[in-house]
Structure 1
Amino acid sequence: MPLEVLASIVVVGLAAIWIMMRFMGFDRELRFADEAVARAEWAADNPTAPPLDIIVAESGKAALVRNKRGLGLIWTMGLDTASHDLAGAVPRPHPKGLRVVLHDFAAPSVLVELTPDEIPTWHQMIEEAA
């Protein structure tokens, strides 16, 4: 097969996949619209530690979750979520909010987008959890 034909097949195939992904909505990002969504996502990731209290960031991209193990953080990654307990976590200022250093090889740090009003509260809660 000539290289020109192969290259055009690859380009058309990739473009078709990109269009299908956009059309089907797989390029959107999950948001915690309210506490119930964050609660359901936390419970799915942590069935042995049900949430007791939840604070959702105004951006909808993260939430602090108090549970029987202590304080945890859940954040969005595309259409999925990840969660982590905050024992030993270190909050650091960032222009977009806070960078939470988790001391975990799998998730070394997380950027949490917060409003200027949310930063002091979240900073204090994460420091207290450590």
Structure 2
Amino acid sequence: MPLEILLVLVVGGIAGVTLLLHLTGRSRLHELTPKTAQDQWLRHFPNDSIIDVTVATDGHAALVRIETGAGLLWSFGADTVARHLLDFDRIDHPQGFEVQFHDFSTPRVVIHLDETERRHWQHLMEPA
């Protein structure tokens, strides 16, 4: 098979799968509520004891307080990502703030917060 035809088939297949996923709603960001955020956190870290969950107004991120500190949960497509807040930098961002993890698997995430939420989350994220 000529390379040009193979290239068209591969690109067309990838585009078709992407379109199908988008049309079936699989590309929407996961919406978090306090209950779903708690469930998702326990899916990632089943041995943690959750004290409190604070969900961002947009529903795409949650700050989870656990016995050993705090953690951040955020939507990543139809799934979620969770990280303990152990070794990170918090940087002000026009849309909220950016959390830079010192971990190659999750380098950074921008959390969308209004001014009131930003102050509250900043207070909750401070080490004890």
TM-score (norm 2): 0.85
- Supply the distance in 2 between the matched residues of 1:12 and 1:101 (Cα, whole angstroms): 36
- In structure 1, what is the Cα distance between the partners aligned to 2:100 and 2:11? 40
**Alpha carbons of 1:38 and 1:20: their partners in 2 closer, same or farther (altered >3 Å)?**
same
Superposed, 1:40-119 pairs within 5 Å as 40-119=39-118
Consecutive unaligned residues of structure 2, counting only runs of 5 or more, are none
Deviation at 1:5, TM superposition (A): 4.8
CA RMSD of aligned residues (A): 2.0
Residue 129 of structure 1 aligns to a residue in which SS? coil
Q: Contact 1:30–1:61 (CA<8 Å) still a contact in 2?
A: yes
SS at match of 2:62: strand
Using a 3 Å threshold, how does the CA distance of structure 1 residues 36 and 16 change in structure 2: closer, same or farther?
Answer: same
- Report the structure number with the largest CA radius of gyration: 1
Which runs of structure 1 show a deviation greater than 6 angstroms over 4 or more consecutive aligned residues? none
For 1:84 and 1:2, locate their aligned partners in 2 and report how far apart those are by CA, in whole Å. Answer: 46
Conservation of the 8 A alpha-carbon contact between 1:86 and 1:129: no
Give the Cα separation in 2 of the matches to 1:8 and 1:66: 49
Deviation at 1:6, TM superposition (A): 4.4
Going from structure 1 to structure 2, the CA distance change for 1:90 and 1:19 (only over 3 Å counts) comes to closer
* Whole-angstrom CA distance in 2 between matches of 1:97 and 1:24: 30
TM-score, scaled to structure 1:
0.84
Residues paired across the two proteins, number: 128
Q: Identity percentage over the alignment?
A: 35
Instruction: Report how far residue 2 of structure 1 moved.
Output: 5.4
**Stretches of structure 1 lacking an aligned partner (at least 5 in a row):** none
Query: Cα gap change, 1:23/1:120 in structure 2, threshold over 3 Å: closer, same or farther?
Result: same
One-letter amino acid of the counterpart of residue 59, structure 2 = G
Aligned CA distance change for structure 1 residues 5 and 117 (closer, same or farther; 3 Å): same
Q: Distance in 1 between matches of 2:37 and 2:89?
A: 22
Cα distance in 1, alignment partners of residues 76 and 96 from structure 2: 17
